[in-house]
């Protein structure tokens, strides 16, 4: 199972978003919106993670997929790219093993089996951390959390700037999702309006049938900036993070016996996070921000 989003993802739409990301990188800074908030650093600045000796490592084979833009996908030239792909290369740079690194794409459903069969050494593809997987695999420390966000219709008469001001307003959410449960737990004063799928939810906010929505921040951040939204809406308050409802975040999956490699990757992730290189990758693939 992949790190969960609250609705199915249209591959065509996500590829369009990937193209928008590539285009945004070429826009002049003055033409873009204000710089999004910094990526939260998930590593304690006082914590010193060991850097194991990898001199005897023959190679490091990262496994990913091509169906999870902007994390991992094929660009217009058929080249494997994305947030995860660049992060894997930066990890190798930090560990001084760039000449030993390989990145291979497989169908998502084959990644777990390939790692178990030693056909790769680390999976970087958004695999959700589940208790049953921890029985067989190790996971790096999380390097990115996918938040929940509110999105409001800009024409709605909402007096405040925080979630408390949504009390008494119609707030849509996709039925039977983690976001519906999270909305009820975090904001009991808000009466949710359930929808069967995300398309009808987004259309209802755009058309002003409801004042706001609560959903996955990744999806909402791209949608509000897309031509489809027609500048109807904006992200509102937040972000909201919860391990209980949203999971442990984005990690790298490894074999349990590869403790030194897991420790080395954790060291690299901490360094990249603290010195700003992870932030640079984040801004390249999330130009509108998640937070």
Give me the residue spans of the domains in the chain: 11-145+249-285, 148-245
pLDDT, tens digit (0-9, with 9 covering 90-100), for 108-152: 999 999 999 999 999 999 999 999 999 999 999 999 999 999 999
Q: Are 11-145+249-285 and 148-245 in the same CATH fold? A: yes
**51 and 97 in contact (C-beta within 8 Å)?**
no
11-145+249-285 folds as D-Maltodextrin-Binding Protein; domain 2 (3.40.190)
148-245 folds as D-Maltodextrin-Binding Protein; domain 2 (3.40.190)
Task: With a cut of 70, say whether residue 23 has pLDDT above it.
Answer: no
d(CA 61, CA 122): 6
The answer to pTM > 0.95 is no
- 118 or 48, which is more confident: 118
What pLDDT does 44 receive?
Answer: 86
pLDDT, tens digit (0-9, with 9 covering 90-100), for 88-112: 999 999 999 999 999 999 999 999 9
Task: With a cut of 80, say whether residue 286 has pLDDT above it.
Answer: yes
| Distance between first and last Cα of the chain | 24
Share of the chain above pLDDT 70, in %: 88
């Amino acid at each position: 199972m992949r790190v969960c989003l609250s609705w199915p993802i249209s591959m065509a739409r996500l590829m369009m978003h990937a193209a928008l990301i590539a285009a945004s990188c070429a826009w002049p800074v003055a033409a873009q919106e204000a710089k999004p908030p910094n990526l939260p650093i998930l590593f304690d600045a006082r914590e010193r993670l060991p850097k194991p000796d990898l001199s005897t490592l023959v190679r490091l084979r990262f496994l990913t997929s091509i169906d999870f833009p902007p994390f991992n996908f094929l660009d217009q030239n058929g080249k494997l790219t994305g947030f995860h792909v660049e992060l894997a290369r930066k990890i190798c740079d930090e560990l001084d093993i760039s000449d030993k690194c390989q990145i291979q794409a497989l169908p998502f459903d084959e990644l777990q089996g390939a790692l178990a069969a030693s056909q790769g050494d680390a999976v970087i593809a958004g695999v959700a951390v589940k208790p049953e997987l921890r029985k067989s695999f190790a996971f790096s420390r999380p390097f990115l959390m996918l938040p929940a966000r509110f999105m409001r219709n800009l024409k709605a008469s909402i007096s405040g700037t925080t979630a408390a001001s949504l009390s008494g307003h119609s707030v849509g959410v996709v039925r039977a999702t983690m976001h519906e449960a999270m909305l009820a737990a975090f904001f009991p004063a808000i009466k949710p309006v359930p929808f069967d799928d995300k398309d009808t939810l987004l259309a209802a906010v755009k058309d002003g049938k409801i004042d706001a929505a609560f959903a996955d921040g990744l999806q909402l951040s791209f949608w509000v900036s897309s031509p489809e939204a027609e500048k109807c809406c904006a992200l509102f308050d937040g972000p909201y993070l919860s391990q209980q409802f949203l999971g442990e975040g984005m990690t790298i999956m490894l074999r349990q016996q590869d403790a030194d490699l897991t420790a080395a990757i954790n060291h690299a992730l901490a360094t990249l996070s603290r010195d700003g290189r992870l932030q640079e990758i984040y801004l390249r693939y999330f130009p509108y921000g998640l937070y």
